[in-house]
Structure 1
Amino acid sequence: MIENSTDMRVIRSRTLMENALLYILEKEGIKGLTVKNLCEIAGINRGTFYLHYKDIFHLIEETSFIQGLLSVFEPINLQELMQHPDHQGAYPPITKAFQYLHKHASFFKALFHSGAPAELRERLQYLVGTRLYENLKPDQTYNESLFSDYVIAYLGNAQFGIIQHWFKTDRAIPPEDIAKILTLYIRKTPCLDHKV
């Protein structure tokens, strides 16, 4: 019984913090997001926050929104993408990811804002880049890990930039169209020509 009540307290604390995070992002944007501000709105003390999360970025990464995005952003099978029969259309997993971003736009718009802290940007680029391209085959011609790291960095930055620009333009085109654009860019990426 004690373990169950502890679990319920953990769930309650995390729910309070995630709700406070959403409130701050909606009302104040990313610039208003601090541990102090979050704790005040959640009605918890800083000790409780640090019991669950290393920092504010760790909280963001653990939200149901980011976890949901990572589950939708399944690693791209580049060979399958390149050989997908619809050469003019979007690769379906990419469309699914942009539809998810669109559905939860109020959360993601704040995160992909140009005024977001550099550390958040770097962590999002890393999450998106490594998740999308974690099955990228190393190139035998180059130092394997070095080349793969650079390809993932390149693709992660490009992916992040497209998402950021899409939100900056207030999602002026539908998710299906931006997915099509990204699919075409990936197909034309020179560093992937010999990898599939």
Structure 2
Amino acid sequence: MSQNRTDLRVVRSRTLMENALLSILENKGIKGLTVKNLCETAGINRGTFYLHYNDIFHLIEETVFIQELLSVFEPLNLQKLMRYPDHEGAYPPITKAFQYMHKHASFFKALFHSDAPAELKERLQYLVGTRLYENLKRNQDDHSENLFTDYAIAYLGNAQFGMIQHWFTADRSIPPEDIARMLTRYIRNTPCLDNEG
């Protein structure tokens, strides 16, 4: 019984913090997002915050929006993308990811804002860029190939992050399906993938 009460308190605290996060991003933007502001908005103390999260970036990574986006992006498999039969269309997981970001644009636009802290940009780039391409490292034995693959991953991760950021900076001036088609085409034609399994 006490375990249930504890679980409910955890859920309640996390819900309060996520709601406060969304409120701050919507009303003050990314610059207004601090642990102090978040705790005041959520009506909790700093101790409660740090009981659940390491820092504000950890909270962002744990939000349902980021977790859902990662679950949509998870199917991204370069070998399948390269073999996808529709050479003019977008690879479906990429389309789903852009549609998801479009649906929750107020959240993602705040995160991808040019004023976002450098640490947040680095973490986002890892989550929505680099992480997706780490399967390139598999089956690489030779050290030079590993080094090359690290550069390929950095290139692809930065490129993907940059496209997403530019799409939000341009206020999503083209539909999600079109930006997904562009990204699919760019990945297919990336020179550093010519020798990647």
| TM-score, normalised relative to structure 2 | 0.95
Question: Which residue of structure 2 aligns with residue 195 of structure 1?
Answer: 196
Moved more, 55-64 or 82-91: 82-91
Question: Which residue of structure 1 aligns with residue 154 of structure 2?
Answer: 153
Q: Within 5 A, what are the aligned runs for 1:8-157?
A: 8-138=8-138, 139=140, 142-157=143-158
Moved more, 77-86 or 4-13: 77-86
Cα RMSD (Å): 1.4
The CA deviation at 1:142 is 4.7
Residues 74, 132 of structure 1: 8 Å contact kept: yes
For structure 1, which runs of at least 5 residues remain unmatched after alignment? Answer: none
Quote the sequence identity (%).
Answer: 80
CA distance in 2, matches of 1:124, 1:75: 18
| TM-score, normalised relative to structure 1 | 0.95
Which digits, 9 at most, give the CA deviation of each residue in 1:132-162, with x for residues without a partner?
2132145556534433322222111111100
The CA deviation at 1:91 is 0.7
Q: Give the SS at the match of 1:113.
A: coil
For structure 2, which runs of at least 5 residues remain unmatched after alignment? Answer: none
Residues 74, 131 of structure 1: 8 Å contact kept: no
CA distance in 1, matches of 2:2, 2:195: 58
Give the residue type in structure 2 aligned to 1:63: T
CA distance in 2, matches of 1:145, 1:34: 39
Residues 70, 131 of structure 1: 8 Å contact kept: no
Q: Give the SS at the match of 1:178.
A: helix
Q: Give the SS at the match of 2:135.
A: coil
